[in-house]
Amino acid sequence: MMPNNAPIILLREDTDVSQGTGQLLSNIGACSSIVSCVASTLGPRGMDKLIVDARGKATISNDGATILKLLEIVHPAAKTLVDIARAQDAEVGDGTTSVVLLAGEMLKEAKPFIEEGVAPHVIIRGYRKAAQLAVEKVKEMAVTIDKTDKAAFHDLLLKCAGTSMSSKLIHSQKPFFSRMVVDAVTSLDAEDLDENLIGVKKVPGGGMQDSLLIKGVAFKKTFAYAGFEQQPKSFVDPKVLCLNVELELKAEKDNAEVRINEVSEYQAVVDAEWQIIYNKLEAIVKTGAKVVLSKLPIGDLATQYFADRDIFCAGRVPADDMKRVVQAVGGSVQSTCSDIDPAKHLGQCGKFEERQIGGERFNIFEGCPHAKTSTMILRGGAEQFIAEVERSLHDAIMIVKRAIKNNQVVAGGGATEMELSKYLREYSRTIHGKQQLIIASFAKALECIPRQLADNAGFDATDLLNRLRMKHAQGSRWEGIDIDAEDTADLMERFVWEPSIVRINALSSAAEAACLILSVDETIRNSASDQSGPGPKAPPGTAQRALRGRGRGGMPRR
């Protein structure tokens, strides 16, 4: 029988255990620290962050998901905010800073209740109810745009793209890039709208307005062998053959063993190698293709052979560029040179040319009959600048994609949040108990978006929020912060629009993240030294922390 004072081995030595209300408040504090990092990036007057990684690579960005990804956060609870920002970026593309701000503010509003001893599950229940009501209210408020009126719908897409860009580095060229983004997205297949088929190529040099959209495919000139310069670089209505075949002389000694007795036999082996590649090249020429692309290398023999017959070729074409070429010109990627049917397997484009853009040469396919893809060629001074332009355009592309799939819009600029705040505050007065206070605190948390927009622009946030509350109480449901006039305005009339799905996803994700963090009351952190230190390893899940035999309530047994 075990004596009363025998130690019970439960947790590894040096395991850090934090629990109870203190742990919950610590997690809320960690999340608030992250919010303070990204809060100043919100809105048209948001600031950028310059983040330098361990290798010295500098990134300038005001995209919430990008900043949080680069911060390399180690606090386990705070990582939840990084996850919701990434989820918002993947699902909707924009609103990453908003979702982090909302989650942080919800936790901040919950903090006094935790300190006063309210059970976390009571708060979680209230927040879930409030989030459900808010999402239903957004769906009810959303304005549906008629897709059948092509001009009006195109105008809607331009305005949604413009709203997304207003807080980005490219806001000075908003009309130019809005048109580019809408043209790029509308060139995709209307069914799946795969944004990966919009190619983005970065060419340093020139101004931002020198960027251009190719209604087809453009990719940088691939590695070229001898004979490349003799090939023609421009065609009208060429047939295009896409291959996954290596057109290079291979020394058979690398992967075969041949026993020979005479020199003539060796010569026959060498001749056979040459004959194999010549048969492939002749089969390609017979198809009538004028542009030959391959994912694998096209060697100097093949390059010279094609040059002699006025055929253009490019080897080592990246897989994503090849995929977009096939989407644009038609045909399919062939893995053999025999039995190629020109009618089925070859594509065609209106014009092919090799063109100099900045310091790079590009192969450009335009006038494609099956064009379900396009390519943006971005210009700018610094590489960091072009990278941020690319991130900004990604957000705008995703917003336009969502607007096409879901043609319901709400106003931005904090107008939607203020209307939801008013609605939830009124609802909270119709119920009793602790839920009344918790739903009212959720309503207050929603005001962080217009407040932060005003703060970032240098306005008096308290004055503007009071004015917004008054306007919404009087029935102006789309009243939000007007950055240009340092006042409030009807943002639906000002065309500050965004798809309702952005707000719905942000509210749902932020509430889920807040509830998740509130439901954690203990963190058990295993020491890193236990994983690699000397001595015998305990099996997974065992622990070596001695808890002396204790009675109920943690009191020592007598």
Active site residues: 63, 96-97, 395
**498, 143 in Cβ contact below 8 A?**
no
Helix (H) or strand (E) holding 213: strand 212-214
For residues 72 and 534, give the distance between their C-alpha atoms in angstroms, rounded to a whole number. Answer: 29
For residues 208 and 393, give the distance between their C-alpha atoms in angstroms, rounded to a whole number. Answer: 12
Neighbours of 279 (CB within 10 A): 12
Phi, psi of 90 (to 5 degrees): -75, -40
Residue 442, SS3 per DSSP: helix
Choose among 1, 80, 72, 74: nearest CA to 514. Answer: 80
Which letter does DSSP use for residue 550 in this model? B
Type of residue found at 338: S
Choose among 219, 226, 267: nearest CA to 248. Answer: 226
Q: What would you measure as the largest C-alpha separation in the chain, in angstroms?
A: 102
Exposed e or buried b for every residue in 334-360, given b needs 16+ CB within 10 A?
A: beebeebeeeebbbbbbebeeeebeee
Choose among 76, 120, 20: nearest CA to 521. Answer: 20
Neighbours of 26 (CB within 10 A): 14
Rounded to the nearest angstrom, the gap between the alpha carbon of residue 74 and the centroid of all alpha carbons in its chain is 22
